[in-house]
Amino acid sequence: MTSTLLSTSEYLIVRGGSTLTGEVEISGSKNASLPILIATLLSEERSTILDAPYLLDIKNTIELLENMGVEIKREGNRIEVNPERITNCRASDENVRRMRASVLAMGPLLVRCGEAIVAMPGGCSIGLRPIDQHLKFFQSAGVDVNVKHGYIYLERKEKKSVNFTFDIITVTGTENALMFLSSVNKESVLNNIALEPEVMDLIEVLRKMGADIEIEGRKAIIRGREDLSGFIHKVIPDRIEAGTFMVGAYLTGGDITLKNVIKDHLTSIIEALREAGAVVEEKSVNEIRVYGSGPIKPLNIETREYPGFPTDMQAQFMVLLSLADGVSVIKENIFENRFQHVMELKRMGADISVKGNTAIIKGVRNLTGAEVFSTDLRASAALVIAGLVAEGETTVRDIYHLDRGYENFDKKLAKLGASVQRLPSL
């Protein structure tokens, strides 16, 4: 497969002072596309995924599947998968280190091969994100689990129904368990599951494949079947990309209409923006308009599992609140190491102090351009939008993080009137 994705050595020059105006088309969800791509392993039949964003994480997932012998054809945002033959039931260290979502291969590989060998996960350095809940589930479902030499070795010993309760709410743990149980032709129950829209999108796919899944609160009742079928599915819009542009609109005193969005997925983001002083209007079923110009009101935010305020929007709102008229507080309850962008924002003049999992943001009059480094996927987007309102130029380095999760982010910003230039390192 030929890729036009850019190298990790590139950087962005962002010139401050632009006002974002116009329309922007939101891409398909990265966090929905990844598990759906991996779910194709559950069937021997062909599947088609529509509106899959062209991202580094998608490219890495395709490479992961191709290394297992899966045939994949990509045309734009359409991906056709032929998983008839699996020649390798191993997710190598090289693949998994690049992307944590590779651990989702455990469930489908156990279904197709009866065994799986998966490297310990990598991805953004935003916290430990242990996979003990995945392994506890598999052990309860009759799978032998051994961890050695940096790999997880799993072998399915029996097919049985389970009634399993997650100790904590985990998105990838829920997804792994749902995919595995979709092939068990007995009734199983999962308790304390994640309810993120991306999980619900995977459930819709598993239903199309033939599994009977009911959701009651945070409980899933699964009646699987062994001969799962292929599917055709359009991925939901990316709520985090949408939220990032919404913050950018208000931050720059702009006026943006977002197309291809699902308002119900954005409830907590919309509420926070309105509380901060933004105007958010529903133009149609799948269009939202965001506009307004300061003063930005301070907020108290706590990240929570869906439907609470998403951890993936914490960095972007920290930028917004850096220019608020007063003192704001952000409490990070999901990942213990997700304030790495604080030091980069302080380079730009932000007044932020961190105590444990709490950040205290004192609004300043303005930010100034500086050279900053992306520390993770969402922080990279936050630093770019900070550059939009900073005086002078901001250089954002390590933008491979950005390319992992935002499709044509700099091009979309430029279309809205931003001055953003992508350059290769010398």
Select the more confidently predicted residue: 72 or 338: 72
Segment 336-354, tens digit of pLDDT = 677 989 999 999 999 999 9
User: What are the distances in angstroms from CA 356 to CA 21, 266, 349?
Assistant: 38, 28, 22
Domains and CATH numbers, the chain: 10-27+237-424 (3.65.10.10), 30-234 (3.65.10.10)
pTM of the model as a whole: 0.94
**Residue 99 binned pLDDT confidence (cut-offs 50, 70, 90):** confident
Q: What is the mean pLDDT of residues 56-67?
A: 93
Q: List 173's β-bridge partners, or say none.
A: none
Segment 280-290, tens digit of pLDDT = 999 999 999 99
Residue 178 dihedral angles phi and psi, to the nearest 5°: -65, -45
Q: What is the mean pLDDT of residues 244-270?
A: 98
Mean pLDDT of the chain: 93
Segment 148-164, tens digit of pLDDT = 888 899 999 988 999 99
| 409 in Cβ contact with 381 (< 8 Å) | yes
Lowest mean pLDDT segment, chosen from 109-113, 259-263, 339-343 = 339-343
Which are the catalytic amino acids? 124
Question: Residue 9: its pLDDT value, please?
Answer: 64
